[in-house]
Structure 1
Amino acid sequence: MFRKLVSLILLFVTAVALAVTVVDDSGRVVEITSAPERVVSLSPAATRFLVFLGLEDKIVGVTDYDSYEAERVGAMVPANIEKVVSLNPDLVLMFGGFQLPEVPKLEEAGLKVLVVNPNSLNDIIRDVVLLGTIFDRRDLALEKSEKLREKMLEIGKKTYNVPPSKRPKVLYLISSPGPDVKDIWTCGMGSYLNEIISLAGGVNIASGIAGPNGWPQLSLEYVVSQNPDVIIVGVYISGTENEEIKKILNFEPFKEINAVKSKRVFAVDGNVASQPSPDVFELLDLFYEFFYGGKGE
């Protein structure tokens, strides 16, 4: 009886100790009374945070756009609130941006919502610690966040002394352009990919251009006028990398661009690159290799 009483007291003390109040990436104050055990992620990027922290067993639902295998709850927008509620989550993770109008709807259904929407590498590191704290994995989160910082410093030391004149001009393409395209989407001012390009020793030709969440559109004329030395394209289906690279090499408006003439066109996993999560830190070494380690196809 005494042991049971002690166990109950310890459980109560632990639950109280885990109660935290946090500010999420939309500026909302969120009270977490205990470490969540059942999570629905309406953001593939947020899912990657959970996997990074070893919290896969907490995931009970994801959207149709998520690569993680769990119960599907439909689209990111509009949220299938009835389906989400049916999974009885104690926390729903969202991306923000175009999803923000869904937050009050989920809250009205009695759900606890946390918005995870980092724009920079430091934001990503901060959110690792934030989620680690919420899920009672703070020590692990601090350890992993420190390794991410070390990766930034490691790459920064390699490129710090490279003068601007020696840095390649870079264009990142969210996807390869089609035959009738007039504008392309890329990463610009305030985006984590812009930061990765810079840290890895490149100069993003869209670094001074703003767009929604850091993703602006560029005209083909602007791209040609900037004449990038390296083009990186996001690819979303494994095994199609060479096909996507060839599309760019054969894209008529880009024929005279340095990157095409020298075949410095590279493909990366667009699912990783387009989702702000700890996984994007893998791109630091990869981009550095693209810029200074060799040629494309």
Structure 2
Amino acid sequence: MKPKVIEISLLFIFFIFSLDLFGQDLRIVSISPSTTEIIFALGLGDFLVGVDSFSNYPPETEKIEKVGTFSQPNLEKIISLKPDIVFATGLEQNPTVARLKRAGLKVYTVDPANIKELFQNILEIGKITQREREARKLIFKMSKDLSKIERKIANIEFSQRPKVFLEIWYSPLITCGKNSYIDEMISLAGGINIAQNIKRKFSRISQELVIKESPEIIIISYMQNQERAREFVLSRYGWDSITAVKKNRVYADINPDLILRPGPRIIEGIKELYKRFYGENFD
């Protein structure tokens, strides 16, 4: 058995043996918007005693105690809430996760590289919190919606699919590589990620490479202002030669949370991408 599989198995066994602590008084803290959305989708919103300040969906999160930002959670505040378990994500939150564990708290990290791993995370959260039935129902619904999307995209010839650049941040210029769930979203929506050969999940990319690839679609994932986004892109030297810019196919009108949060609304994000790629609603 591979070391990573053994590690995951031992971690899961640890949580299983801890389930006797999780009764009607279960206390949950989530320091990641994506895990907050998963917890609510499993019907566990009433057990949330703390969330990060970026957790803004569903609207019920507004009434929950805030425990700092996504990047800088307040450890003292989290500890004071006496959670049975803390849900977090990886990458930027890894140092926080380590500190929480050193403080004796149980922490479960959700950091899926693809949709299959997201489904696994949802199921594990369901098992940990005694909501396995709800988790399986959610996964079934999401899988069913995905199948519909895949059937529709299967009819589009690969040569007819648009080249896409999805901009996660502008300074430095950040995009998604082939090992990311966002790359998979682009593919499922019928697009071709121009950064699919970049091995890292999220990576810097040079403006020269974007210009060379000349994507037909540009998605700005951090800005919801269509006109401003186009002006922003046009201000970059050489970008006026890019197909997406010349054909006015620079989009900044998708709710970033549908793309940047690996959670239950990821299906909506794929449908929104499809709409920008092909100029029509999915349904």
Q: TM-score, normalization: structure 2?
A: 0.84
Equivalent pair of 1:24/1:116 in contact (CA under 8 Å): no
Equivalent positions of 1:89-168 (< 5 A) are 89-168=83-162
Q: Does 1:215 align with 2:202?
A: yes
CA change 1:262–1:25 in 2 (3 A) is farther
273, 277, 280: which one pairs with 1:291? 277
Equivalent pair of 1:197/1:287 in contact (CA under 8 Å): yes
CA change 1:76–1:235 in 2 (3 A) is closer
Instruction: Give the partner amino acid of 1:234.
Output: S
Equivalent pair of 1:168/1:229 in contact (CA under 8 Å): yes
Equivalents in 1 of 2:6, 2:262: separation in Å?
A: 18
In the TM superposition, what whole-angstrom CA distance separates every residue of 1:62-88 from its partner, at most 9, and x where no partner exists? 223332322122244554322111111
Equivalent positions of 1:16-95 (< 5 A) are 28-29=11-12, 30-31=14-15, 32-34=18-20, 35=22, 37-67=26-56, 68-69=61-62, 70-77=64-71, 79-95=73-89
CA change 1:222–1:172 in 2 (3 A) is same
Equivalents in 1 of 2:220, 2:161: separation in Å?
A: 19
Equivalents in 1 of 2:177, 2:147: separation in Å?
A: 22
SS in 2 for 1:100: helix
Which residue pairs with 2:185 in the alignment? 196
In the TM superposition, what whole-angstrom CA distance separates every residue of 1:176-208 from its partner, at most 9, and x where no partner exists? x4xxx5x51111111111001111111000011
CA change 1:26–1:75 in 2 (3 A) is farther
TM-superposed CA distance for 1:224, in Å, is 0.6
CA change 1:222–1:104 in 2 (3 A) is closer
Equivalent pair of 1:24/1:115 in contact (CA under 8 Å): no
SS in 2 for 1:162: coil
Equivalent pair of 2:31/2:88 in contact (CA under 8 Å): yes
Aligned length: 265
213, 218, 221: which one pairs with 1:234? 221
CA change 1:173–1:155 in 2 (3 A) is same
Q: Larger radius of gyration, structure 1 or 2?
A: 1
Instruction: Give the partner amino acid of 2:67.
Output: V
Which residue pairs with 1:19 in the alignment? none
Structure 1 unaligned spans of 5+? 1-21
Equivalents in 1 of 2:168, 2:255: separation in Å?
A: 10
SS in 1 for 2:151: helix
Equivalents in 2 of 1:241, 1:51: separation in Å?
A: 31
Q: TM-score, normalization: structure 1?
A: 0.80
Structure 2 unaligned spans of 5+? none
How large is the Cα RMSD of the aligned pairs? 2.5
SS in 2 for 1:150: helix
Q: Does 1:172 align with 2:166?
A: yes
Equivalent pair of 1:124/1:278 in contact (CA under 8 Å): no
Which residue pairs with 2:268 in the alignment? 282
SS in 1 for 2:148: helix
In the TM superposition, what whole-angstrom CA distance separates every residue of 1:39-82 from its partner, at most 9, and x where no partner exists? 11122221121122222111111223332322122244554322
